[in-house]
Amino acid sequence: MHKRPVIGDVRILLALSCIALAACSGGYKSHSLEAIKDRGTLVVLTRNAPTTYYIDNRGQATGPEYQMAVAFADYLGVKPKFVVKDSVSDLLYALAHGQGDMIAGGITRTAKRLEHFDFGPVYHTVTQEVVCGSGSNPDSVDELHSFHLKVIADSSYVQRLKQLKEKYAKLHWTTTHTMNTEALLRQVWAGQLDCTVADSTIVAINRRYFPNLDAEFAISEPQPLAWVIPEHGAQSLREAMKQWLHEYKSSGALENLMERYYSHVQIFDFVGVRAFKRKIESAWPKYRSVFHEAAEQNDLPPLILAAMAYQESHWNPHAESPTGVRGMMMLTLDTAEEFGVENRLDPVQSIRGGARYLAFLEGRLEEDGVPGRARLWFALAAYNIGYYHVRDARRLARKLGKNEDSWYAVSKVLPLLSERRYYKHLPYGYARGTVAVRYVRRIRNYADILRLEIRNNPGR
């Protein structure tokens, strides 16, 4: 058991020296591509966070870094082995100490880190943002010294703040070795801390859970995200990463991945999220088993089905619109009859009928050739705007040279269905495509919030 040193840079240098002297116990002696293939395992260091690696409501590992690392391991013809650490500092220490082949942890490539490590190719960029709670907050770095600012130790945030302090002498902050960025954001949300610094992707996702967080201003230019590899002995691994990422991008897989995890991110107003959380507390236990049963019977994700119902009716079984749709899933009379719903105001019947209808739409889209997970987003849009308008949007995407099977691409095209120059040439004409795009985004956000609430309150 290695004692945890206090200063991150010293930890890393000690570990590097350890490796150079071949004195490390339990580490991997070689990180070359040949050694990894001979071993048959790619050891990936990562951390548990929404932007990297986490366990979903079905008990399966997921996350953008996880998905990419699995695809890379498959490209190499080996199995991935994930080792989860608590912080960026712990990840860097572990890699320097030979405990993994690479880090897939949403880490920015900085000049300081390049002194001790090598990096794979850049796959995304982020900016560092100052995040504070709602209220009277700083408008610039010059005002930040009046607030309690805390950031994670041994991070790119500390490096940037040190640079800024050369110009803003009053700037000061504290650091923590025991908390991650997400935990600091929670402290800001709870009023226990004035401000912190986080990457823009982390801020965007967490503001859905903590809507009173304010991203005040950026303190950096866009910074590259890349996988971290050992400084020595991993050149062949880096070249393999470069070749894989080129193919991954060219196939559209990277775009689809970013769409899956980030493109639906939008900010809800504080009142709206607070109301949803209250509804989770009061109504979710009542309908949870019905959502799970209906989802299982129709091969649907239960939290997506539940989020869809909330978007439709706010889980009000007696909801009704001026157009005549009614009930928890807001079904038309014709749709209700087609899918075996005798009483639209019966929540159990409504949920089951809505699930059957959504699964039916997925089936039609599968027949149309829409692949994999994208079918669910297309099906949700079809539930909202109509199947034939979705077909029109895919047809228009193809005409415009975009990928008709990518929800990301079609979500950019759907709003064009309300413009006459486009819809006059489409079989089913005008449609409010922007509404459908927002509908899908909100469902995905509600599902994420519900997932986090369940994770934080296992009894729910």
Task: Give the list of residues 6+ apart from residue 362 with CB closer than 8 angstroms, or none.
Answer: 300, 375, 376, 379
Distance CA 65, CA 198 (A): 17
HSE (side-chain half, CA atoms, 13 Å) at 241: 24
Please check whether the two domains, 8-123+225-263 and 128-220, share a CATH topology: yes
Phi-psi region of 59 (alpha: psi -120 to 50; beta: other; left: phi over 0): left
Q: Which fold has domain 8-123+225-263?
A: D-Maltodextrin-Binding Protein; domain 2 (3.40.190)
452 with 458: CB under 8 angstroms?
no
Q: Which helix or strand (DSSP H or E) is residue 83 part of?
A: strand 79-85
Identity at 17, one-letter amino acid code: S
Q: Which CATH number fits domain 270-456: 3.40.50.1100, 1.10.530.10, 3.40.630.40, 2.60.320.10?
A: 1.10.530.10
The 10 Å CB-count burial string (b at 16+, else e) for 389-407 is bbbbbbbbbeeeebbbbbb
What CATH fold (topology level) applies to the domain 128-220? D-Maltodextrin-Binding Protein; domain 2 (3.40.190)
pLDDT at residue 16 in the model: 46
Is residue 145 within 8 A of residue 168, CB to CB? The reply is yes
Give the pLDDT confidence score for residue 296 in this predicted structure: 97
| Six token digits for residue 9 | 């840079």
Catalytic residues: 312
Q: Which portions of the chain are predicted below pLDDT 70?
A: 1-29, 56-59, 263-271, 322-323, 459-460
Count Cβ atoms below 10 Å from residue 448 Cβ, excluding itself. Answer: 19
Question: Looking at residue 22, what is its pLDDT?
Answer: 38
Measured distance between the N- and C-terminal CA atoms of the chain, rounded to whole angstroms? 37
In single-letter form, the type of residue at position 208 comes to: R
CA-to-CA dists, residue 155 to 8, 167, 329, angstroms: 9, 20, 46
CA angle 376, 382, 385 (to 5 degrees): 145
The domain limits of the chain are 8-123+225-263, 128-220, 270-456
Two tokens, residue 215: 């991203």
Q: Is 389 helix (H, G, I), strand (E, B) or coil?
A: helix
